Structure 1
Amino acid sequence: MSKKIILKGTTENLKPAITLILGIHQMLEGLDLGAGGDRDSEAHPDRRFRPQIRLHFLQDTDFNKGSNAPGYHGERRVPGRLTWRLMNETSETITLGELTRIGQQIKQIFGANNGYVWQKGKELYTYADWDRGYQMQILARSASQAQDLVTKILSLQGHTPTWKYMTKGENLDRASRYPETPVTKTILGKSVTMPKTRPNVEVRFTYADARIHKLLEPVVIYDQTNKKVGALVR
């Protein structure tokens, strides 16, 4: 079976469609659904070497490890990640001063009140404005919260959203496709809890880092947890 998908249309029409397909592909592979990554550079080569800013979130309340034994998939603390690229910078032009400035802005917007809480849900929203560095896939419970996240992220670069770039991916039977009641299976004679797909869960902002081309390790630009060594902003 061919792994190629052939799409036809104008560039503006294809951008949100490609973003949605990439998000679904990540979901099927069991990867964390964030706001871009290395795959977006394959679809838009000009983005490949641009610095990438990443916001990290983690479930921190009402966490239950479940009944799983080590070595099996099961209940895990739910993560979240949202990313975008700085299209006006390269690995050779970006400075620690600029990363520190971005870290200060992230602290003000996402670090307030012990960390921004993202209510992840079953609805998949995409925001694709590639020319300005955005290719986001956001799981949320409503369009309003997805828009709130997009608005806050864009404000870090002084941008305002253009909502024609936002798309909603719809499943006709979300309750069956993404059930809230955990599914259990019997493995080696034991009942094992399977991880939920698109759970309704709150994840809290924890830290932000930057991936710079040719650097092996990301640069931590703001740490809400005070656990990251060498963070530019605390």
Structure 2
Amino acid sequence: MSKKIILKGTTEQLKPVITQILAIHQMLEGLDLGAGSDRDSEAYPERRYRPQIRLHFLQDTDFDKRSNAPGYHGERRVPGRLTWRLMNETSETITLGELTRIGQQIKQIFGANSGYVWQKGKEIYTYADWDKGYQMQILARSASQAQDLVSKILSLQGHTPTWKYMTKGENLDQPSRYPETPVTKLILGKSVTMPKTRPNVEVRFAYADARIHKLLEPVVIYDRTNKKVGALVR
């Protein structure tokens, strides 16, 4: 059976359709919708080699581990990641000065007050304005927080949200599809807690980096945790 999907229509008609297909694919594959993806660059080739800015979030260390060894027992601190691309730059035009400027802005908006807290939830909100470099999928508990995240990210480039580019996807039976009660399995004679899918959890902004085409390692442009070596802004 072919894995190809053939779509027909104008760019404006196809943008939301492709975005929803990507979201459905991630859901079926069990991928973390808040961890970012590069598949958008494959669907929209003009984005592929543009510098990508990534915001990284992580659950606080005082989360409910339910054990003294969360790694062994199947639990992890929940991460989050939001990304966008700089459509007015390429790997050859972007400068350390510009990345430092972006890092300073991220520090002001996401680094203040001990770090922005993103309340991840079970509803998926997608903001897709590809011409400006945005194709974000945000797991949240309400439209208002998803809009707050979008507004803050767009403000970094002086952009104003156009809400017709934002859509919502929601499972009709969330308690069954994404239960909050942990599922356990018996592995090697021990009860192992399985990671939750789309948990209701708070993740705090930690650092931001930039992926530049042809560079093997990302450039850390702002580090709130003071744990990243060589960060441009602290």
TM-score by length of structure 1 reads 0.94
Q: What corresponds to 1:205 in structure 2?
A: 205
Q: What corresponds to 1:23 in structure 2?
A: 23
Q: Deviations over 1:74-112 (max 9, x none)?
A: 221000000000000000000000000000000000000
Q: What corresponds to 2:157 in structure 1?
A: 157
Which moved further from structure 2: 83-92 or 18-27?
A: 18-27
> Offset at 1:69?
7.5
Residues 216 and 143 (structure 1), Cα distance of their counterparts in 2 relative to 1, 3 Å cut: same
Q: Does 1:196 align with 2:174?
A: no
Is this contact kept in 2: 1:68–1:193, CA < 8 A?
no
Residues 35 and 18 (structure 1), Cα distance of their counterparts in 2 relative to 1, 3 Å cut: farther
Which moved further from structure 2: 90-99 or 188-197?
A: 188-197
Which moved further from structure 2: 221-230 or 181-190?
A: 181-190
Q: Classify the secondary structure of the residue corresponding to 2:182.
A: coil
Q: Does 1:82 align with 2:86?
A: no
> Offset at 1:4?
1.9
Is this contact kept in 1: 2:67–2:73, CA < 8 A?
no
> Offset at 1:35?
7.3
> Offset at 1:149?
0.3
> Offset at 1:62?
4.1
Which moved further from structure 2: 81-90 or 19-28?
A: 19-28
Residues 210 and 73 (structure 1), Cα distance of their counterparts in 2 relative to 1, 3 Å cut: farther
> Offset at 1:22?
1.4
In 2, the alpha carbon distance for the partners of 1:219 and 1:92 equals: 15
In 2, the alpha carbon distance for the partners of 1:111 and 1:68 equals: 30
Residues 10 and 148 (structure 1), Cα distance of their counterparts in 2 relative to 1, 3 Å cut: same
Q: Classify the secondary structure of the residue corresponding to 2:109.
A: helix
Which moved further from structure 2: 180-189 or 119-128?
A: 180-189
> Offset at 1:72?
6.7
Residues 21 and 109 (structure 1), Cα distance of their counterparts in 2 relative to 1, 3 Å cut: same
In 2, the alpha carbon distance for the partners of 1:64 and 1:36 equals: 25
Q: Classify the secondary structure of the residue corresponding to 2:105.
A: helix
Is this contact kept in 2: 1:35–1:136, CA < 8 A?
no
> Offset at 1:11?
1.7
In 1, the alpha carbon distance for the partners of 2:52 and 2:73 equals: 30
Q: What corresponds to 2:116 in structure 1?
A: 116
> Offset at 1:13?
2.2
* Number of aligned positions between the proteins: 234
**Unaligned segments of structure 1, at least 5 residues:** none
Is this contact kept in 1: 2:121–2:201, CA < 8 A?
yes
Alignment of 1:37-56 (within 5 A): 37-56=37-56
